[in-house]
Amino acid sequence: MPLSAEHKQKTRQRIVDCARELFNRRGFDEVSIDEIMQRAGLTRGGFYNHFKAKEELYAEAVSAYLDFDPSQRWEGIRLDPGCGDAFGRQIVEAYLSTAHLADIEAHCPMIALPSDTARAGPHARRAYRCLVEHMASMLARGMEGEDDGARDRSLAITALCVGGMVLARTVDDPAFADEVRRAARAVALELIGSAD
């Protein structure tokens, strides 16, 4: 009896979730299809029922973060898209939070995978670009009509958030990592402006 479309979709999602966590932890090259499938509780042969190649899975794992809701994973985080420029502040607070920094498996791929993506093929790079654009557009939403520089400011805030977290994640001194994270947060919030 063939499996239902719903079962197939749930299995595919489980593979993507396991891959995203492994890629975040160790990078694209260091993770094998066998490891991903084992973590998902499946056989390697099943991989090709869902994906043509590992890079296709990688691109989908990056894209999956478009639907990530940090309030579902990190305590004390709240995102309300209907609250104007306060939404931008909420994004910055969540992105540059200690919870995000500590949760390596749920890191945004923009933090965890920039070097891997830079060396990846067009599908992964396109998924990464879409993620950057998505974050910038969410930030710009609260600034629209405020001035003509909302897009530039939202891109700068995105760069501060991602760059700040990349540096905080890679330095060997936790106190300095926290200082970097807090400094990026302060300047990003300043660029957003004060909440109404």
pLDDT of residue 195: 44
| Domain 5-61 architecture | Orthogonal Bundle (1.10)
**CA dist., res. 193 & res. 76, Å (int):** 22
pLDDT of residue 104: 84
Residue 177 has pLDDT above 90, yes or no: yes
pTM of the predicted model over 0.95: no
Tens-place pLDDT, residues 13-57: 999 999 999 998 888 889 999 999 999 999 988 899 999 999 999
**CA dist., res. 26 & res. 51, Å (int):** 21
Tens-place pLDDT, residues 136-172: 998 888 675 556 688 899 999 999 999 999 999 999 9
From the options 3.30.43.10, 1.10.357.10, 3.40.50.300, 3.40.1380.20, give the CATH code of 66-192.
1.10.357.10
- Of 25, 30, 13, 37, the closest CA to residue 119 belongs to 30
pLDDT of residue 73: 81
